[in-house]
Amino acid sequence: MENVQRPRGAVVAGQGGRMSESARNRKPSPQVKTIEADLATTRERMGETLEELGARLNPDRLKQQAMDTVREATIGKVQTKARKTMDNATKAGHAATDVVRENPIPIAMIAAMIAAGIGWLFWNSRSGRTRRRMRRALEQVRGQR
C-alpha cells in the first residue's frame, strides 16, 4: 500500500481510501454542508490572496516601484526647492512693489540722484578732464616709487 500524505484530521473511509456503498449513499448532515461551504469560501479567498501576492511581488512592478521611489527622492526634492525659490522671489518682488507704491516720493528722489550721478560720470568722461587728472595721479604715484 502506498504512503499517501493527507491533511491533518483527514479521515479515510474504509480500506485503502475507498468508501463503502452505504457511506456513498448517505446524505451529508447540515454540519458537513456548512463545513464544505466554509472550505469553498476559504479556498476562494486563499486563491485571491495568492493572486494578489503574485501581483505585488512581480519583478517588473517591484523595479518600477524602486525607480519611482528614487525619482521622487531626487527630482521631487529639486522641484520642491525650485517651487519654493520661485515663491520667495515672487514675494520679494511684491514686497518691493509695495514699498514703491507706499513711498513714491523717496523712491523718485533716489532715482533722480542715481540719474544725476550717471549724468555727472558721463559729462566728466566726455570732457577729458578726468583722464588728465588720472594721468597726473598715476605719474605722481610712479614718481614716488
Per residue in 25-40, pLDDT (tens digit) is 677 788 888 998 999 9
pTM of the model: 0.31
Residue 145, C-alpha cell as written in the block: 616709487
Rounded Cα distance between 93 and 99, Å, is 10
CA angle 8/10/12 to nearest 5° reads: 140
* Residue 19 banded pLDDT, cuts 50, 70, 90: low
∠100-103-108 over CA atoms, to 5°?
75
Residue type at 88 in one-letter notation: N
| Domain boundaries defined on the chain | 104-140
Q: Check pLDDT > 70 for residue 2.
A: no
Q: Looking at residue 55, what is its pLDDT?
A: 87
Would you tell me the crossing angle of helices 129-143 and 104-127 to the nearest 10 degrees?
70
Task: Give the C-alpha separation, 20 to 24, whole Å.
Answer: 6
Q: For residues 110 and 95, give the distance between their C-alpha atoms in angstroms, rounded to a whole number.
A: 18
